[in-house]
Structure 1
Amino acid sequence: MSAITTTPPAAVEYPDSDGQPIAENTLQFEWIVTLKGNIDLLFRDRDDVFVAGDHLIYPVEGDNTTRQAPDVYVAFGRPKGHRGSYRVWDEGGVFPQVVFEVLSPGNRAGEMNRKRAFYRKYGVEEYYTIDPDDHTAEGVLRDGDTFREVPDMNGFVSPLLGIRFEVVGGRIRVLHPDGRPFLSFVELGERERETAERARNAERRAEAARQKAERLAARLRELGVDPDAV
């Protein structure tokens, strides 16, 4: 009697890329990078907050077709570190709680509806869409098994992130909890340059004042006056 052999099922592969571009244009890309970088900066001192951009999320073990790659997402309770993809079963069952999508002209209503349904199904607590061309933002918050629309994003504060959305002069802005605006890398570099220039100017003024004081002290000594006694 011959032995019956079985072939173990092939291991499921979870690709790290969906083959789609990060962004369709430079404005969308700048917003994605700015959001991701500033939120990372906001939580730089917390080891239990993972922030990623254009990164695939797989919610179901064994299923490599159910997936999404949000433009930016935040997972509380998960350690920082590099990942090829975010596999929920390897992350203690924690699905990212906050998701951002930055719209581009190529986005379609059906596509965005599918994304929204995906995030609602798997547990996103806060979902934001930003349209940098129209300077608008929309947000929804979890309410049981469904999403509840944020009625007015102007002045709205994210419950989990503490960041605020503003519309100033017809333009959408995102601000840190302390009121500082989210800045692009170029804007951050300009701020650093301005700060460094102010510091150099202060040093030059201090040095000029020191030299002036030394000249005055020398003149007093020439007149027979002890400058330390004046």
Structure 2
Amino acid sequence: MMKSSGGNLPLGRDYPATNSEPRAQSDRARNSIHYSIEALKSHFQHRQDVYVSGQLFVYYAQGNPNALVVPDVFVVFGVPPRDRLCYKLWEENNCAPDFVLEITSQMTVGKDSGVKRGIYALLGIREYFQYDPLDDSLRPRLKGMRLIQGDYQPIQPISLPEGSLSLTSEVLGLELRLVRGGELRFYNPKSGAKLLSYRECNRARRHAISRLFKLGLTAEQIAEALEFSLEEVQRSRSS
């Protein structure tokens, strides 16, 4: 959802963090947003200058609460990863998002490809990606664009041997791929590893702990090897 700028309002006017308008989403769209935010937060968790969020009001003109945009997923470099009610550019050293991903649907494709694209270019957002989880509104269903001299130019997709589609984000240093069933996943090109959601991380953690117990390691040895607390290991074993 997006509201374009209107007339200037007094500087003291509130900047709401939510509104009363309903926002209906398909399960696939919601899952794509949650996965993307969780995977990117996990990937950048050791960086104190990277903020990952999504579906948050981004205000870009001080004094005008109507000048806002709500990206589904966005990443900002150069600001701390603290919790925010909303994101106001003038309170963040004028750091606009560097990367935006919109989960596009039949209801949003017009705004995502039109007005939002224009605002993102105006704000200097370096990369803009769109993904259509239902494959009914966007062709191809995964698109990427890079800002060059004030205008977005398409990022050329790469067809992988197994038949999946991959686009490179230079901003993130990651690849966005369409995998089984057309699902969107982020990959680290250096390691070839898929970025995991919190649930996927927990599942992989439990599997690793179970495997090491079967190999005869003690809880203390597993905690040291995996850099987990002893309580985490014991809790995973009993779950």
TM beyond 0.5:
yes
Q: Which residue of 2 aligns with 1:175?
A: 187
1:187 to 1:120, Cα distance in 2 relative to 1, 3 A: same
Q: CA RMSD in A?
A: 2.3
Give the equivalent residue in structure 2 for 1:194: 207
Alignment partner of 1:89: what SS? helix
* 1:143-199 residue CA offsets vs partner (Å, 9 max, x unmatched): 011111113253332111111123345624321342222333333332222112111
More relative contact order, 1 or 2 (CA 8 Å, 6+ apart): 2
How far apart are the structure 2 equivalents of 1:115 and 1:137? Answer: 17
State which of 113, 126, 143 in structure 2 corresponds to 1:138: 143
CA contact (8 A) 1:23 1:29 kept: no
CA distances 1:113-142 after superposition (whole Å, capped 9, x unpaired): 111111111110000111112283101101
**1:196-225 CA-partner distances (Å, limit 9, x unpaired):** 2111111179xxxxxxxxxxxxxxxxxxxx
Structure 1 18/141 Cα, relative in aligned 2: closer, same or farther at 3 Å? farther
Distance 1:33 1:170, change over 3 A: closer
Cα 1:20/1:150, change in 2 over 3 Å? farther
Give the equivalent residue in structure 2 for 1:116. Answer: 117
Name the structure 2 match of 1:214.
none
CA distance in 2: counterparts of 1:168 and 1:110, whole angstroms: 26
Q: Which residue of 2 aligns with 1:6?
A: none
Counterpart Cα distance in 2 of 1:91 and 1:204:
48
How many residues in Structure 1 have an aligned counterpart in Structure 2?
197
Note closer, same or farther for the CA distance 1:186–1:79 as it changes in structure 2 (3 Å cut). closer
The 8 Å contact of residues 173 and 181 in structure 1, kept in 2 or not, is answered as yes
TM-score when normalising by structure 2: 0.75
Q: Which has the larger radius of gyration?
A: 1
Unaligned 5+ segments in structure 2 are: 1-9, 159-164, 219-239
2:166 partner letter: G
Q: What is the match of residue 171 of structure 2?
A: 160
- CA–CA distance in structure 2, aligned partners of residues 164 and 142 of structure 1: 17
Change (3 A) 1:111 1:166: closer
Q: Deviations over 1:18-59 (max 9, x none)?
A: 334565122111111111111111111110111111111111
3-state DSSP of counterpart to 2:68: coil
Structure 1: gaps of 5 or more residues: 1-8, 206-230
TM-score computed with the length of structure 1 as normaliser? 0.77
SS at match of 1:156: strand
Identify if the C-alpha distance between structure 1 residues 22 and 41 changes in structure 2 by more than 3 Å, giving closer, same or farther.
Answer: farther
CA distance in 1, matches of 2:111, 2:215: 57
Which segments of structure 1 move beyond 4 Å, counting only runs of 4 or more? 20-23
Indicate conservation of the 8 Å contact 2:156/2:167, yes or no. Answer: no
Confirm or deny: 8 A CA contact 2:74 2:97 kept in the other structure: yes
Q: Which residue of 2 aligns with 1:27?
A: 28
Could you tell me which residue of structure 2 aligns to residue 215 of structure 1? none
